[in-house]
Each structure stands twice: as structure tokens, then as C-alpha cells.
Amino acid sequence: MYTFGLEEDRQAFISFVESSNGSFMQLPMWASVKSNWTPLLYSGRRDGALVLTCLVLTRKIPVSGTLWYIPNGFVCDYTDEHLVEQFCVFLKGEMKARGAFACVTDPDMPWKIDGAVQPAAEQAAALLVRCGFQPNPDRNNYTYQPSLTAMLELSDAGSAEALLKQCDKGVRYSVRVGPERGLRSEAFSYAELCENEWAFDKFLDVMGDTTERLEVVRRPREYYLSFMEQFAPWAILDLIYYDKKADASSAAEKRARLAELEELTQSETRKNVLKKYAHEKQALEEQLEAFRQRSEEAAAYTEENRLYLAAGITIRFGEMTSCVFGGTKNVLRNTLRASHYLNYVRICRSIEEGRRLHDMGRVPHSYMSADAPEHGLFLFKMSFHARLYEFMGEYTLVSRRAAYHFYHRLMPLVRNNRMKVTRFFKKLLGRA
């Protein structure tokens, strides 16, 4: 016998989501970050024990009424079909009582992994359809989350070095030479950020360059701060910086070795040894030329020995690490590839903490096209030996069809024109 209702025990709700390997977006704190939504916490119990939790975000939509969104679906055992069916009956009653015209959800369950269909997701999808939910067939235009993600499966990795060997050649090279060229990392919890506001400023500076380069909407400082605060037990902010003095010191050692090789060459007659010296000299000369280029590019930042190049926020929740935010500065982006090093630092931590999965972030379907400007971002994520997870996608339970039809026609227009409006005002303000 199941009983459903609003859950008053917030901590029990959180503990159930975490112990069930749910998503951080299924936690009550997600509602606090999404300040334009109002949360409802539902639960299902059997004999007094929690068997289901469900975060519902509600929002007023002009003309249509109230829209419900369940991020990442219900937290429950989807193989318990009776449980899901009974909860959906309860959900329909709550929607009617609270005036919701539709409820959208996107279950956190992979439908395909590298193109291979997952039977569990197929069964869950069929179950939702039987319960009245209808799938959104337009996988390029989901309302909330793209369905694709680049996922690292860490269970069999053994070590970060072992996983690195499976990455693309460019990733391996950038990660291994990064420290030699002066790349360093720092990590901050929310409590540490409160004592080191400069670190958060560095993060915002990086994200500013990134959003402008990708032409996406820039989130305000308050949003990122709220995110770190709400998810403080699980959130960490990583910074990658370029230590110019360390790079210069390494270059000085290379020059000294090059001078040594010049002397050794003068007195050496063995052809095999001379050939070896020649190869080493060529490598050192190329490395010193690369150093010269880096120095010239960083010359404008004379006041900073530490030049912050990459930053990201990750959530370590349950068995998964989620790379929620991340970006790079424009300076030295192609010469030092700090983004590679940032992600390697994140992966190392995931393995050390015993996480099973490492989510490198969602990827819209449009990014997979070779002609898309963002295709490079897709290739970058996949270069870490990631597998392509395609989740079940969006499912909608409609309560009032006329209101939903209006919303369904209106929202794509709002979403598609939001960036155009942002660019217009940026240009307008730039001319002012």
C-alpha cells in the first residue's frame, strides 16, 4: 500500500535522493537556485518508508497558467510499475487541484549509450506513456536540458593515468606538459570562497570570456554564488592558472641544457650520439620557441604572475561527478590548452573519491553536426574517452490542452529569440 503527499521532512528527502544515486537537480536546493520557480516536494511511502521522491518546480506562464517541471524525473525504482502508475494518478489529481495545465519531465535515465538502446529506459518510457505522458519528438528543441551528454565511466579506469592513456593524443600531450609549462590548479569549497572573494572574481572573469566567445547568455554573479551556497556540501570550484615564473624557470633550464649540448657536440665524434644530441636540441629549440610565443601573448598581463586561464564548478553527488559550469580565457587558450588540464584535475578527483561516473556536461544535438560552430566543443568532450549517453528526453503530461497548445507555440519563439534580444542590447549599450 502506497501513500503519497507533500514531504515535510526535507532531510529525509535529501538522504533518499543521495542514497538512490539520484541527480543533484532532484534536490530541494535546485529550486532555490531557480529562483523564478516555486518548489513542491512530493514523496511516496510504503509502510512508512520512503520509496519515491519528486521535486516539482512550478511557474506562472502568461495566459496559459501554471506549468510544472520535474527535473530529471522521479527518484524511484521504475521497475516497480505499480508504484509509478499510482504516483502518476496522484500527480494528475494534484495538477488539477493546483491549476497546472501541463507537467514536463526529463528522466535521468540513459536511453542510448554510444547508440545502443538500453532496455531499462525503453521499459520506463513505455510506462510513462501508459501513465499519460507524451514524448517530445523534437530532440533538437527540448525546453530544459539537452538529452546528450559526454560521460566517463570510471569504474574500470583504475587510475587517472590509465584513463589518460585512452584519451586522444592531443589531450595526453596537453595534460602531461601542462605543469612543466607553468599550469597549476587550486580548488575552493563554498566556505573557502567566502574567505577568498578574489577566487570567485577569477571564475567570473573566465566565464565572461567564455559566454562572449560562445555567444550564450551570461549568468549574473548572484546566480553562481547561490549555486555554490545551495550545494555547498557537494560543490567545488576549480581554478587553473599560468605561473609565469615557473614557466620562465623551466625555460632557463632548457637553455642551460641546450648550451650544454652545444659543448658536448663539439667534442663528440660518435654518429649515433650526435644524432641523439641533434634530436634533443631540436626538441629544446621547439619548446623554447613555444615559450617565447607564450611570453609574448602574456606580456600584457605584467602585473600578474598568476594568470588565471580556466575555471569550473563541479558537483560530487552520490556516484557521479557533474561538470556543471566551465570555461577558459581567450588568452593562451590555444597555446596552453588549460581546458584540458582543468578537466584532467576534475577527473583525478572523481577517481580519488571513488565516483562511478563523470559527466562532462550536456551536448545539444545540433553540436554533433560537423558544420555547427559548436562542433569543436562536442569533439573536445569526446576526446577524453567519453561515451555518448543519450537520455530518455522530455515527456509531457497535459492537463488543459488549449493552454498547453498556446504555451507550446509561444515558448520556442521566446527561447529562439532570447539570444537575439541579448545581442541587440549589448550592441546598443556598446554604442551608448
62-112 pLDDT, tens digit each: 878 999 999 999 999 999 999 999 999 999 999 999 999 999 999 999 999
**Which residue spans within 167-305 are E strands per DSSP?**
183-188, 235-243
pLDDT digits (tens, 9 = 90+) for 245-303: 999 999 999 999 999 999 999 988 898 999 999 999 999 999 999 999 999 999 888 77
Order across the sheet with 134-135: list the strands.
2-6, 38-46, 49-61, 65-70, 100-105, 395-398, 134-135
pLDDT digits (tens, 9 = 90+) for 393-403: 999 999 999 89
Intrachain domains 2-148+391-431 and 150-242+306-390 with the same fold: yes
Query: Domain 150-242+306-390 falls in which CATH fold?
Result: Aminopeptidase (3.40.630)
- Alpha carbon of residue 61 to chain centroid: 28
Least trusted range by pLDDT, from 13-17, 260-264, 278-282, 408-412: 408-412
What's 142's DSSP letter?
A: -
Cell of 130: 501508459
What span, in angstroms and rounded, lies between the C-alpha atoms of 425 and 419? Answer: 10
Question: Residue range 411-430: average pLDDT?
Answer: 54
pTM: 0.89
What span, in angstroms and rounded, lies between the C-alpha atoms of 268 and 314? Answer: 54
Query: Domain 2-148+391-431 falls in which CATH fold?
Result: Aminopeptidase (3.40.630)
Determine the pLDDT at residue 372. Answer: 81
Given the C-alpha cell 555547498, which residue does it identify? 232
Give the H or E element holding residue 413: helix 401-431
What's 366's DSSP letter?
A: G
In percent, the amount of the chain with pLDDT more than 90 equals 77
380 CB-near residues (< 8 Å, 6+ apart): 339
Determine the pLDDT at residue 432. Answer: 43
Given the C-alpha cell 503530461, which residue does it identify? 397
Structural domain spans, the chain: 2-148+391-431, 150-242+306-390, 246-298
Cell of 419: 539570444
Least trusted range by pLDDT, from 49-63, 131-145, 153-167, 287-301: 131-145
pLDDT band at 313 (very low <50, low <70, confident <90, very high): very high
Determine the pLDDT at residue 141. Answer: 66
Cell of 323: 561538470
Angle at 244 (CA atoms; ends 241, 250), nearest 5 degrees: 115
Given the C-alpha cell 574567505, which residue does it identify? 195
pLDDT digits (tens, 9 = 90+) for 324-364: 999 999 999 989 999 999 999 999 999 999 999 999 998 88
369, pLDDT greater than 90: no
Of 380, 337, 341, the closest CA to residue 360 belongs to: 380
Least trusted range by pLDDT, from 82-91, 206-215, 365-374: 365-374
186, pLDDT greater than 90: yes
Using alpha carbons only, how large is the chain's radius of gyration in Å? 26
156, pLDDT greater than 80: no
User: Looking at beta carbons, which pairs linking 125-131 to residues 24 or more positions away fall under 8 Å?
Assistant: 125/392, 125/395, 127/78, 127/81, 127/84, 127/85, 128/84, 128/88, 128/395, 129/395, 130/85, 131/84, 131/85, 131/88, 131/89, 131/397
339 CB-near residues (< 8 Å, 6+ apart): 310, 326, 328, 333, 380
Spatial contact of 43 and 50, defined as CB atoms under 8 Å apart: yes
241, pLDDT greater than 50: yes
431, pLDDT greater than 50: no
- The residue type of 258 is L
Of 116, 109, 118, the closest CA to residue 74 belongs to: 109
Mean pLDDT taken over the chain? 91
User: Looking at beta carbons, which pairs linking 365-368 to residues 24 or more positions away fall under 8 Å?
Assistant: 365/139, 365/140, 365/146, 365/147, 365/148, 366/140, 368/148
Determine the pLDDT at residue 364. Answer: 82
Least trusted range by pLDDT, from 52-56, 264-268, 374-378: 374-378
